[in-house]
Amino acid sequence: MPPPWRKLFDTRKLYQVFLHVAVIALTVEVVILAQENSRFKNRGAGIPMEQIKAGDYFSLDSLESLSGTGPIDTTSSSLIFVFTTTCPFCEQSLPYWKKLSELAQSVQLSVFGISLDDKKRTLEYIADTSFVYASYIPGDTKHYQLKNHIATVPQTIVRGHGGIIKAAWSGALNENTLAEVVKTISEIHITHN
């Protein structure tokens, strides 16, 4: 008669034990990778930035003109597009921004873009795209973003008299948001006439 401990080392049982150990090891690895991924995503994030919203003051200080238009009239209402040159959602918004800029200019609303990239990259981007409005870059991008609560791009902003935001849209525009922006521009035009 074989010793009782030999039953423990039966091939089928060893295989099952090995599978259980492998599943436990994989589960531990998945948990560790998820924690590392979370740490990498949040690295340098610090305190979450408050999103830009209607009623906030939107500063136009310290902007450098890239199109030779000079300083911005900070007292008038304006339509502002905030973008970066590598943002795919900014690219998706370009046709909508072009339509909106034509509408806004037809009702005497100033229209301009603010790039959060460096001057050289932004000038190359403007030359390669169909920008039909003045463009600016902030002197200190990080400070400008914090000051104006620009956490993401693209941003489409309708700024009223006195620098108060009437409405702001984050992310790529679509037909629904386009209609909302048009409505807001129309309301500003009606209140100023």
Helix, strand and coil content of the chain, in percent to the nearest 5, comes to 50, 15, 35
The pLDDT tens digits of the residues spanning 37-90 come to 766 554 444 445 678 899 999 999 889 998 767 778 888 899 999 999 999 999
pTM of the model: 0.73
- Burial (Cβ within 10 Å: 0-12, 13-18, ≥19) of residue 144: buried
Note whether 157 and 52 are within 8 A (CB).
Answer: yes
Q: What is the pLDDT of residue 7?
A: 62
- Of the listed ranges 5-14, 19-28, 58-67, 96-105, the least confidently predicted one is 5-14
Tell me which of 143 and 32 has the higher pLDDT: 143
SS3 116: coil
